[in-house]
Amino acid sequence: MATRFIVCDGAELARLWARIGASENEELTWVPREDESRARPTGFRSLQGGLTAEAIQKLGAKDGDDFALVSEEAPFVRAAVSAVHEAAPHAPILVMSDKVQTEDLPDHPCLRGAGLRTLIRDDVDKEFQHLANLRRVVELRTLLQSREKLGILLQPDPDPDGIAVGYGLRALLGRKAPTAPLVSFGEVQRPENRAMIQALGIDVRTITPDELDEFDGLALVDVQPTVFGESPPARVLSVDVVIDHHPERTGYDAVMKDIRTGYGATATILTEYMQAVGMEVRPKLATALLYGIKSDTQLLGRDTSSADMQAFAYLHSVYSPALLRRIERPALPEDGLRALGRALGSTKVEEGVHLLVLGRVREDVIPQVADLGLQAEGAEWSVAAGVVGSDLVFSVRNVGYVRAAGEVVRAIVEGLGVGGGHRSMAKGIVPLKNFRKVHKRADRATIRKALLAAFVRAIQSDEERATLSKKR
């Protein structure tokens, strides 16, 4: 094992090091200050002859050994760097100091600066953050433990973040679905989100505001009461708990509120709670929370805080990749694959747009085909369209450096249907009767022609606008 030579400046720092607890492969040396010659700290030997290359040489460093210089004084560190460099030219040096900056030191090919007390301080601060989270959990548990039936209310058409947090809160409280169901005023609609609750086996009950009466406890997660319309039901204006990351709203009472607007996902708050109590996070729950963070931050893209990154990293060590794949890539039905085969049979990338028209398919096939379509050579945009019920539904993906997909889709569906999305993904829905009003028919060829023309037009007009605004 490589040896670490620890060179401490004075008795105080040597004792500090000794208290932290030296590792067995550390060779402890110190350079006494003027009045310290008899104050030798236990376990340390003094550097014979002071801070010189000869003294360092006598330590007998071999190839692969490291040096740490522990000091708050720049002259000491400078002298030590030179001495070590001369005696052991290839030995890496770690300078541990809160005051000495590496810029003030002589050039060295392999030197790194680190804090000393600040290293411990960072850990201490982190622990106090855990403690603050622990306090929240204790509050939560105390507040809710005597409630017979707790409603965990999500926003209407719950998204993965809300679902994961509801699921996680229930686990944190040690409850099961019968005494703490996840409820919502509007059912889970997006096919991706349905795939999530299916893969995880989570039940989200759709209820009416009146049905809230059956609960003697109410917790809102990833949502705040005043989101439920102009005049929300009275029951939601006075609740027990709100845990959220959306901008703080007023006009309601909550016994306990934990709103962290700097966070990209509420799932991050829940993950911190679990870390704070030292709860074992099972792969299923970790997968749900990880997916919640991933989808709310668009894979740690915009609006991501370092807290989200840390929670994500923590969850990443326990989640189930197989389960996540099942959520993100739901199994494609055979007729969906055949529809894809027909569409691919005559596929063509035109003006950077790869458009695949599937005909009548199950809705979750459409976004998956859009993902796939973007892999076509020359495609900057991928559009997958299909007929679901009485609507024409299309999913859009782009390579990211072109105009925002959401804007393009909004331009296309204007006056015809609904649509929107983000920079690189979007979705549009146009009722078939509206489509027929404009295009007479709604067969695959007509849909293809109409959508392609609309996309090329929308993308180009966006580009023109972009060029114009640049010129200005």
Give the tokens for residue 358. Answer: 């599937």
Task: Compare residues 66 and 296 and give the one whose CB is closer to Mn ion.
Answer: 296
* Segment interacting with Mn ion, rule: CB under 5 A, options 52-60, 72-80, 210-218, 296-304: 296-304
Nearest distance from C-beta of residue 237 to Mn ion, angstroms: 21
Dist CA 376 CA 370 (whole Å): 11
Nearest distance from C-beta of residue 185 to Mn ion, angstroms: 17
Nearest distance from C-beta of residue 159 to Mn ion, angstroms: 6
Dist CA 341 CA 157 (whole Å): 32
Contact mark string toward Mn ion, 19..48, x via CB under 5 A: ------------------------------
Nearest distance from C-beta of residue 249 to Mn ion, angstroms: 14
Strands (E), 176-282: 182-184, 204-206, 217-221, 238-244, 253-259
Task: Compare residues 65 and 296 and give the one whose CB is closer to Mn ion.
Answer: 296
Q: Do the bridges between strand 381-388 and strand 391-398 make them parallel or antiparallel, or are there none, so unpaired?
A: antiparallel
Task: Compare residues 136 and 260 and give the one whose CB is closer to Mn ion.
Answer: 260
* Interacting residues with Mn ion between 327 and 366 (CB under 5 A): none
* Segment interacting with Mn ion, rule: CB under 5 A, options 8-16, 295-303, 316-324, 417-425: 295-303
* Interacting residues with Mn ion between 448 and 467 (CB under 5 A): none
Nearest distance from C-beta of residue 222 to Mn ion, angstroms: 4
Residues that bind Mn ion (rule: CB under 5 A) add up to a total of 4
Burial of 261 (0-12, 13-18, 19+ CB in 10 A): exposed
Nearest distance from C-beta of residue 244 to Mn ion, angstroms: 8
User: Which residue's Cβ has the minimum distance to Mn ion?
Assistant: 161
DSSP 48: T
* Segment interacting with Mn ion, rule: CB under 5 A, options 13-21, 75-83, 154-162, 385-393: 154-162
Nearest distance from C-beta of residue 248 to Mn ion, angstroms: 14
Query: Who contacts 389 (Cβ-Cβ below 8 Å, separation ≥6)?
Result: none
Nearest distance from C-beta of residue 270 to Mn ion, angstroms: 11
> Of 260, 257, 256, nearest to 268 (Cα)?
260
The per-residue DSSP string of 61-106 comes to PPTT-EEEEE-S-HHHHHHHHHHHHHH-TT--EEEE-SS--GGGS-
The per-residue DSSP string of 211-240 comes to GGGG-SEEEEESS-GGGS-SS--GGGGEEE
Contact mark string toward Mn ion, 101..140, x via CB under 5 A: ----------------------------------------
Q: Which of 222, 240, 363, 391 binds Mn ion (CB under 5 A)?
A: 222
Nearest distance from C-beta of residue 241 to Mn ion, angstroms: 16
| Cα 306 to the center of its chain, rounded Å | 8
Task: Compare residues 95 and 241 and give the one whose CB is closer to Mn ion.
Answer: 241
Task: Compare residues 10 and 162 and give the one whose CB is closer to Mn ion.
Answer: 162
Place of tokens 């005494």: 179
Task: Compare residues 9 and 222 and give the one whose CB is closer to Mn ion.
Answer: 222
Task: Compare residues 183 and 408 and give the one whose CB is closer to Mn ion.
Answer: 183
Nearest distance from C-beta of residue 269 to Mn ion, angstroms: 10
Q: Which amino acid is at 215?
A: F
Task: Compare residues 68 and 163 and give the one whose CB is closer to Mn ion.
Answer: 163
Task: Compare residues 259 and 277 and give the one whose CB is closer to Mn ion.
Answer: 259
* Segment interacting with Mn ion, rule: CB under 5 A, options 258-266, 329-337, 345-353, 423-431: 258-266
For residues 237 and 218, the answer to whether their CB atoms sit within 8 Å is no
Task: Compare residues 227 and 372 and give the one whose CB is closer to Mn ion.
Answer: 227
> Of 391, 458, 398, 375, nearest to 428 (Cα)?
391
User: Coil, strand or helix: which one is 430?
Assistant: strand
Task: Compare residues 221 and 369 and give the one whose CB is closer to Mn ion.
Answer: 221
Alpha helices per DSSP H over 317-404: 321-328, 334-345, 365-373
Q: Does 308 bind Mn ion (CB under 5 A)?
A: no
Give the tokens for residue 182. Answer: 């996840």
* Interacting residues with Mn ion between 262 and 291 (CB under 5 A): 266
Query: Who contacts 464 (Cβ-Cβ below 8 Å, separation ≥6)?
Result: none
Q: Does 161 bind Mn ion (CB under 5 A)?
A: yes
Nearest distance from C-beta of residue 179 to Mn ion, angstroms: 25
21: left (phi over 0), alpha (psi -120 to 50) or beta: left
Nearest distance from C-beta of residue 128 to Mn ion, angstroms: 26
Task: Compare residues 1 and 299 and give the one whose CB is closer to Mn ion.
Answer: 299
Q: Which of 65, 192, 272, 296 binds Mn ion (CB under 5 A)?
A: 296
Give the tokens for residue 285. Answer: 């729950």
* Segment interacting with Mn ion, rule: CB under 5 A, options 51-59, 134-142, 216-224, 320-328: 216-224
- What DSSP element (H or E) covers 26? strand 26-31
Q: What is the maximal distance between C-alpha atoms in the chain?
A: 100
Q: What residues make contact with Mn ion under the rule CB under 5 A? A: 161, 222, 266, 296
